[in-house]
Amino acid sequence: MGKDISSISEIEEERRKSILSSGNDEIDKRLGGGIPLGSLTLIEGENDTGKSVLCQQFTYGGLVQGHRIAYYTTENTIRSLLNQLESLSLDVSDFYAWGYLKIFPVHLEGVEWRPEQMKSILNLVANHIKTIKENVAIIDSLTMFTTYSTEDDVLDFLTRLKNLCDLGKTILITLHQHAFKEDTLVRIRSACDCHLFLRKEQVGDRYVSVLEVSKIRGAKKTTGNIVSFEVHPGFGLKIIPIAEARA
């Protein structure tokens, strides 16, 4: 019996080493344990549905696991991102100080908004991810780059990211669902190994975020899994039971 328990523990430990955890047991359960390492994940949704919060949750979970993480943000400075994480009870300041978390603000003031310029910037981002030592990269958000990019350039960029994942990187990107026409979004979704979709639902007099697991590479049982949550400043992400959310 002791040997069997030991074997189960070893299998569980190996499984944990093969995934990126959100640091939240309920979310990880809906994902079949977490996001498989070496995968390209699309986090899609409208404004204010929780895309950035989910990225920050995976940042915290990954750091606790021992991953090195590069966070590319188009909406924050280093300080404001660290403050946001702290407000969600996800204090990563020590990880940042030790160099396990690198934050790269991507602000494009003075850039000419032309497809050629955007293609160059996408190439710079892909090259940067390729050269850094961090094994997990989060791009929040891809929408700013795609606004003035051609469909082919974006798909070429995703292909480059997918190639980096095949070499061992784990990459998460967020995208506003109205950034492209539906047929282009279908192609973008199909290019990714994992697809998480976020939306808002009204529950009585409040709105909750709903995360739907549309696709997880190699984990059929997780497809269609749903988890609802609210974000409380100073407390963080709070899971709302489905029965309560639908009541």
Q: At CA 214, angle to CA 213 and CA 215, rounded to 5? A: 95
pLDDT tens for each residue of 149-172: 888 899 999 999 999 999 999 999
DSSP codes, 154-190: HHHHHHHHHHHHHTT-EEEEEEETTSS-HHHHHHHHH
- Domain ranges for the chain: 21-197
Phi then psi for 217, rounded to 5 degrees?
A: -55, 125
Does residue 236 carry a pLDDT above 70? yes
DSSP 46: -
pLDDT tens for each residue of 178-227: 878 888 889 999 999 999 999 998 877 788 999 999 998 866 555 668 89
Angle between helices 151-166 and 182-191 (to 10 degrees): 10
- Considering the segment(s) 21-197 as one domain, its CATH architecture is 3-Layer(aba) Sandwich (3.40)
- The tokens for 24 are 């939240």
The pLDDT value recorded for residue 11 is 47
Residues 6+ apart with CB under 8 A from 59: 69, 71, 85, 90, 92, 101, 138
- Name the pairing type of β-strands 194-203 and 40-45: parallel
Residue 127 — very low, low, confident or very high, per pLDDT cuts 50/70/90?
very high
Residue 143 — very low, low, confident or very high, per pLDDT cuts 50/70/90?
confident
The pLDDT value recorded for residue 221 is 58
CA 28 to chain centre: 13
Residue (of 239, 246, 243, 240) closest to 203 by Cα position: 246
Does residue 13 carry a pLDDT above 60? no
Q: How far apart are the C-alpha atoms of 178 and 125, rounded to whole Å?
A: 22
Length of the chain: 247
pLDDT, mean of residues 37-57: 94
The pLDDT value recorded for residue 43 is 96
Helix (H) or strand (E) holding 98: helix 93-98
pLDDT, mean of residues 222-245: 78
Residues 6+ apart with CB under 8 A from 72: 104, 106, 125, 137, 138, 139, 140
pLDDT tens for each residue of 49-103: 999 999 999 999 999 999 999 999 988 999 999 999 999 999 999 999 999 999 9
